[in-house]
Amino acid sequence: MPISDYIVTIGLEVHCQIKSKSKMFCGCATSFGEEPNSNICPVCLGLPGALPVLNKHAIEQTILAGMMLECSTPEISKWDRKNYFYPDMPKNFQLTQFDLPLCIGGGVPLYDLAYPKEIQNEIPSPGKVVKLTRIHLEEDVAKSTHHSNNSTIDFNRAGTPLMEIVSDPDIETPEQAYAYLKSLQQILVYGGISDADMEKGQMRCDVNVSLRPHGQVELGEKVELKNLNSISAVRSSLYYEIQRQAEELDAGITQIQSTRRWDADIGETQMMRTKEDAHDYRYFPEPDLLPIKTAQLVEKMRSHVPELPHHKRARFEQDFGLSPYDADVLTSDQHLADYFEEAAKEPKLGKKVANWITNSVLAKLNEDNITIQECPLPAAHILELAKLVEAGAVSNNQARDVFAELWKKPSVSPAEQSKAMGFEPADTGAIESIIDEVINLNPDKVAEIQAGNEKLLNFLTGQVMKASKGKANPKMVTDCLKGKIL
């Protein structure tokens, strides 16, 4: 049967490191890029007799993440031991949360620009919100590196505060999974909760996927995919795994609950092991940590909930008259949104400022391969440039030339740069003299304009601009021509 004959069900488990100076249960630093095994202590090494102490900041940030994603927080939350035997967890259990996590329910809205570019104009389920099961807080494990003949372990990461954000089996396509991760990443960055940089291991993802024939209510057997180090890898691995399961189901091969790894080099998933269930981990309450009452923490974090991307987008449309697309682009990055708001101090020019940023600033950032945080041009320059055009001091083409020079010399103001390039308002008398001359040289065009063909005004404006060597303002010239001819 073709894949369309099956219902595809996808759930994601996202592990995201919280932005914190210290680890979850000890005072060791969480800084990235340090010498291996330098940020360690008896607690994060799991040495006998070492006792954990809770990181209050990490708990608060997890509650904040839940608020941003419209989760609820139970009155009591507790800690549990998840027992397993891997070298990346030296005490042979992980401190985590099992039945009373910090956040329950909620959802992740899928933003249009979070989808792959090739389908943004034809999103199958626009406005979809992927339901969440829970968000719980735990400690990260050490980083294992496998070489040809041996493996090495760096415990610097062990104990870093880690949120696990678990979705419902509510995702239907690889594109939705891609958009989910992009949207979630954007929301977490907006909240200052995490940088969510997958290249640095700050955000990692496990994928659960199953297929079942149409008409079957029960979900198919779940296959978990590991070793996914980028959002693109999640999408690619899903395409392969969906095809693989469909072909095996067509051949009568029953799927079993299992864990597979993604090999990006060959573009295939490979069997690792049959999947453990929760009882295999022998969860039990952590005896060295008391449960926490969450009411005061929840109340404290209410004032810290930021304006979310979709709320900011709606405000930009309403306050600045932006199109939905422009608002989407400008809110897709928190720093870009801040740059726009700083530039759009005069809301009536908001649309023009947005055009400069989306068309010119972003193009130059892309050309120079830098971020908006590294933009050399102060936001105030964009507003001043828009005001010069609005006032008729420079034309749009002249303003683009000014912008190009300002990018190289951002310490110069737009007005100063415009003047230096000879775009300051030309002598009105001289321009009017040129206009009169152009009218006298083109009596046939003037007659046609007077007969109703006003499009020819553009021709005469061009002649004036040419004669003035580009110093005249096109709008002012056109207005003057109308006054003299019509």
Does 1.10.10.410 match the CATH number of domain 428-485?
Answer: yes
> What is the pLDDT, as a whole number, of residue 227?
78
The residue written with tokens 């079957």 in the block is: 216
Report the predicted TM-score, pTM, of the whole model to 2 decimal places: 0.86
* Length of the chain measured in residues: 486
Local confidence band at 165 (pLDDT 50, 70, 90 cut-offs)? very high
**480 pLDDT above the threshold of 70:** yes
- In 107-235, DSSP assigns E strands to 107-109, 129-139, 143-146, 151-154, 161-167, 203-213, 223-226
Percent over 90 (pLDDT), the chain? 73
Q: Distance between CA atoms of 356 and 352, rounded to whole angstroms?
A: 6
Provide the Cα torsion 419, 422, 425, 427; round to 10°: 130
Distances (CA, A) of 251 to 48, 246, 255: 53, 9, 11
> What is the pLDDT, as a whole number, of residue 481?
84
What residues form DSSP beta bridges with 292?
77
**Tally of CB atoms within 10 A around 325:** 12
Mean pLDDT, range 355-378, rounded to an integer: 96
Mean pLDDT, range 261-280, rounded to an integer: 84
Mean pLDDT, range 383-391, rounded to an integer: 91
> What is the pLDDT, as a whole number, of residue 276?
64
Local confidence band at 4 (pLDDT 50, 70, 90 cut-offs)? confident
Phi, psi (rounded to 5 degrees) for 14 = -105, 125
Local confidence band at 462 (pLDDT 50, 70, 90 cut-offs)? confident
> What is the pLDDT, as a whole number, of residue 152?
95
The residue written with tokens 């070489």 in the block is: 147
Buried residues in 21-53 as b, exposed as e (16+ CB within 10 A): ebbbbbebebeeeeeeeebbeebbbeeeeeebe
- Do 194 and 202 contact (CB within 8 A), yes or no? yes
Mean pLDDT, range 383-402, rounded to an integer: 88
Local confidence band at 13 (pLDDT 50, 70, 90 cut-offs)? very high
Judge residue 280's burial from the number of C-beta atoms within 10 Å of its C-beta, 0-12 exposed, 13-18 middle, 19 or more buried.
exposed
Residues 221-237 have pLDDT tens digits of: 999 998 798 999 999 99
In this predicted model, which residue has the larger pLDDT, 479 or 63? 63
Cα 83 → chain centroid:
35
Q: Distance between CA atoms of 77 and 97, rounded to whole angstroms?
A: 8
- Within 13 Å of residue 314, how many CA atoms lie on the same side as its CB? 4
| Domain ranges (residues) in the chain | 3-301, 309-420, 428-485
Mean pLDDT, range 283-312, rounded to an integer: 96
What residues form DSSP beta bridges with 6?
213
Cα 337 → chain centroid:
12
Residues 271-280 have pLDDT tens digits of: 998 866 666 7
**427 pLDDT above the threshold of 60:** no
In this predicted model, which residue has the larger pLDDT, 375 or 276? 375
Query: Which distant-in-sequence residues (6+ apart) come within 8 Å of 60 by Cβ?
Result: 297, 300, 301, 304
> What is the pLDDT, as a whole number, of residue 280?
78
**426 pLDDT above the threshold of 60:** no
The residue written with tokens 């709320």 in the block is: 311
Q: Distance between CA atoms of 259 and 261, rounded to whole angstroms?
A: 7
